[in-house]
Amino acid sequence: MSKSSLRKIYEKLKLMDDYISYLLKLKEEIKNERQFMEDFHFFTSVERCFQISCQVIIDILNLIIIEEGIEKPEESREIISLLFNKGILSEDLAQRMNGVVGFRNILVHEYGKIDRKRIYKYLKEKIEDFQNFKKEIIRWLKSKA
């Protein structure tokens, strides 16, 4: 892997760390679903943090595809399973992260129709998946060194 791509991946992981840390803080502050649904600040903050974190994952996976000379999938939602098939992501993580690309697309392109309950569910259930993504990517990068 080129030094430039390696540097970019670590920079993106650091950026995701910052957003995930903020999500964890918000998760503690938000007392319940009702509070989340009624508080525009909470909703928009969580939504934006997830949007950027999802984009970071997509960017990292695209960098890996380029660096490894893997043929890019026809549809972006296939990127997770492609890297699972190449042994870069574990099966468990690939299954848990499978909807990341679609979730990001909803946040970016269908912003007027976002289901706040789905965002709240992500806040309560998915943060660990982003942390595990980072661990697996770092493990894979170290195996390439």
Please state, in angstroms and rounded to a whole number, the distance separating the CA atoms of residues 129 and 58: 14
If the chain, 145 residues long, is cut into consecutive pieces of 10 residues, what is the mean pLDDT of each piece?
92 97 97 95 95 94 93 84 92 87 83 87 93 95 86
**pLDDT computed for residue 145 by the predictor:** 73
Ordered by where they begin, the domains of the chain are 3-144 (1.20.120.580)
**pLDDT computed for residue 77 by the predictor:** 77
In 3-state terms the chain splits into helix, strand, coil percentages (rounded to 5) of 85, 0, 15
Please state, in angstroms and rounded to a whole number, the distance separating the CA atoms of residues 56 and 86: 20
**pLDDT computed for residue 4 by the predictor:** 92
**pLDDT computed for residue 52 by the predictor:** 95
Q: pTM for the complete prediction?
A: 0.91
CB neighbours of residue 94 within 10 Å: 17
